């Protein structure tokens, strides 16, 4: 599956674009840069994870995305407290970050499960190979 087809990627990319649009006039450049970087990090890490070859790598990048989502949520609270983000906008963004975080948790669980299943299959194949080797040795000793 391509990351562009994931609802969590679409929603996080949309949120990132909303942050850029809403905060483009903010003169506190440090805050604006930090919050937009955190917002952009979420869909970027989702994309990078899904482009990785292993389920384990994918789960790791999804975990980074989830961490960035928490960072973004914190910055939204701070922005609201200092008057940079109005309460209605902050409320919508906070709800969206919670939902995106929950979606990422589900994906992380899935990817970790897939990684373990592959690991188990490899282990089973190694055990089968060892068993065949032992059987062959026994037959030659007889």
The CATH number assigned to the domain with range 3-141 reads: 1.20.1440.60
Q: What is the pTM of this model?
A: 0.82
Nearest alpha-carbon partner for 119 in 55, 48, 51: 55
Element (H, E) at 89: helix 87-141
Q: Give the Å distances, CA to CA, from 124 to 57, 115, 119.
A: 22, 14, 9
pLDDT, one tens digit for every residue, the chain (142 residues): 799 999 999 999 999 999 999 999 999 999 999 999 999 999 999 999 999 988 889 999 999 999 999 999 999 999 999 999 999 999 999 999 999 999 999 999 998 888 776 655 565 566 666 666 666 676 777 6
| Structure token digits, residue 3 | 């990351």
- Per-residue pLDDT at 125: 61
Return the domain boundaries, the chain. 3-141
């Amino acid at each position: 599956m391509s990351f562009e087809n994931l609802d969590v990627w679409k929603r996080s990319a949309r949120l990132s674009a909303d942050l850029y649009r809403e905060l483009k006039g903010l003169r506190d450049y440090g805050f604006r840069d930090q919050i937009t970087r955190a917002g952009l990090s979420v869909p970027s890490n989702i994309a990078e994870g899904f482009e990785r070859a292993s389920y384990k790598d994918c789960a790791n990048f999804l975990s980074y995305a989830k961490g960035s989502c928490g960072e973004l949520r914190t910055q939204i609270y701070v922005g609201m407290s200092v008057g940079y983000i109005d309460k209605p906008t902050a409320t919508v963004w906070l709800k969206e970050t919670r939902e995106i975080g929950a979606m990422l948790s589900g994906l992380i669980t899935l990817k970790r499960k897939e990684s373990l299943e592959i690991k188990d299959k490899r282990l089973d194949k190694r055990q089968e190979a060892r068993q065949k080797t032992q059987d062959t040795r026994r037959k030659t000793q007889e």
